[in-house]
Chains A and B, each alone.
Chain A
Amino acid sequence: MGTDFAKLGFSTSFTVLDWCIVIGYLIAVVGIGVYIRKYVASATDFMVAGRGLKTFLAIATMIGTELGLVTVMYSSQKGFTGGFAAFHIAFAAAIVTLFVGVSGFIVVPLRRLNVMTIPEFYEKRFGRDVRILGGVILAFSGILNMGLFLKAGSLFVMGVTGMASEVHLKIVMTVLLCMVLLYTTLGGMVSVVVLDYIQFVVLSFGLVFASILSIRYLGWTNIVDTVTMEMGESGFNPFHEAGFGWSYVLWMFFMGLVSCAVWQTAVIRACSAKDTATVRKMYTLSSVGFLIRFLIPYFFGICALVFIANTPSLRAVFLSAEGKANPDLSLRAMPFYLSQILPTGIIGIVTAGMLAAFMSTHDSYLLCWSSVLTQDVVAPWFKKGLSSSARMLLTRVFIVAIGIFILVWGLWYPLKQDLWDYMAISGAIYSIGGFTLLAFGLYWKRASRTGAYLALFSGFLALLGLSKVQELCAPMLAPIKSRFGIEGDIPSAVIGLIVLALAIVLMVVGSLLLPDEKLNRYHAEREES
């Protein structure tokens, strides 16, 4: 795993001073998180911070969660492999988030219904069984999606600190995970939002500073010229077939919508907001955050490419004769680049911010998926319901269980594609069905339980987008590949779009053929309001 760059003459600027900054910062952050537990009195405080988030804090926590170390890692990898053309993903995310903020699409009616999780809406709209199934699929997809977070985080630490020993690194990552588990299980959402805020402040200014430093170090003209030389037109034009292509761009617009309006970790922020006006403001202003969380890391990835392409000894390690890098190496390019250009002290602050971001994403995701398992999978089985303290205890147990799973999965799963594509497709198992149920359930009266079941199950076909699954299903996929002249893997974007179209068709056909017999409680409530 570890290429020792010190042997190539590239030592990191990360020193003892930086370690002190990182450790001091992390201890302070965890201490604050644990201290805040005194404000938690009920399950609502624990899961949605008493629904008391005002606009600025809501924006900070939304961006803080989504601008995690993992986002920075997979985005910089996309910038490294896709060049400036990858900027279209940031553009799509911003446009779609702005649209959601202005129109209130999906998130405003959800907030109005006072639900804590999306499957809770499934129950109100389609019944209890759909809620349980939706909860299982959502948690499965979400936990699988965060399965490689730890690996991405570990590669960042390796790249920045110059560590080459895998054993030391696993110890560091396990310690980090334990710290996250400690304050998330104790403080719940109140700790999460406050720590998200701190992380937002440190990381936002750190990223802007590192961007300015990169431009000064490499020169803008040099950056553009090197990308032109390495990638040609496909390094800039997102529609160029040698690069991303139309289907990928279209898939990214859908993923942008999913990230902000369908993905539970973002939606839980809308559910935690004070009122629907706050939800709209939060999404409108967060569109800049959703843009930048991709854009700056893409830029770092591009800078890493420029730095490596112009250094022959590094070029030989990172880039093959065709100019392509394998996924593990392309993930390491950005942290290695930062370790070379950031001065001592500053690299400590940026790393502390990144590790806080790593923890912040973990805490939000852990809380989110454990809340879904508690609220939507276990609680509905109890006719009298679960007490507030039982829910909190169960959520904490799930947090620890998921933490153990991601530790094991992150170290075991072999990544054979860009991390972003892995995440997009593992998330799609839920988000394709989730989007269909939300959009049709909220805006089409005739959407029925049968249509909902069919749409939810169809999401599993998105698994075909994973390289490992395509390898396992090679004999089955061979005729399709030869029919359409596809060499190598079928692009995950194409699979995602086909499955999305299928889910929509199944929802419409299922609802028309087998409609629900009577108006359920959801319609009655909506009509009353």
Chain B
Amino acid sequence: MDWAKIWTFFFFLSLSAFTALAVIVTIGGFFDIRSLFRDLSQAKEQQPRRSE
């Protein structure tokens, strides 16, 4: 078994997959943060009303 070739293939495949994932998560994460802030703000506004 040629471990050097296996690890070479494994390394470049992983690096490519991670680069693609990083781009997708960067874009998707930005929209998720906006949505999280919106949800938390709404929950905070509703909290005093519930206690009333």
Contact = CB atoms under 8 A, between A and B. Distances in A.
Interface in A76-111: 84-85, 87, 90-91, 94
| B interface bracket (residues with beta carbon within 8 Å of A) | 20 to 34
A50 interface: yes
Interface in B1-30: 1, 3-4, 7-8, 10-11, 14-15, 17-19, 21-22, 24-30
Contact of B39 (A52, A201, A204, A208): A52
Contacts of A55: 28, 32
A56 B10 contact: no
B48 to A, nearest CB: 10
A59 B17 contact: no
A190 interface: yes
Interface residues of A, number: 47
> Secondary structure of the B side of the interface?
helix
Q: Which of A45, A233, A292 has the most CB of B within 10 A?
A: A292
> Secondary structure of the A side of the interface?
helix
A54 B14 contact: no
Contacts of B27: 56
B47 A41 contact: yes
Contacts, number: 111
Nearest to A40: B40
A40 B40 CA distance: 8
A237 B27 CA distance: 38
15 contacts: A59-B29, A84-B7, A87-B10, A193-B36, A194-B33, A200-B22, A208-B15, A236-B4, A236-B7, A237-B3, A285-B25, A288-B17, A295-B11, A296-B15, A296-B18
Interface of B: 1, 3-4, 7-8, 10-11, 14-15, 17-19, 21-22, 24-33, 35-37, 39-41, 43-44, 47
Interface of A: 39-42, 45, 49-50, 52-60, 63, 84-85, 87, 90-91, 94, 190, 193-194, 197, 200-201, 204-205, 208, 211, 220, 224, 228, 233, 236-237, 285, 288-289, 291-292, 295-296, 299
Which 4 A-B residue pairings sit nearest by Cβ, starting from the closest?
Answer: A56-B28, A57-B32, A236-B3, A204-B22
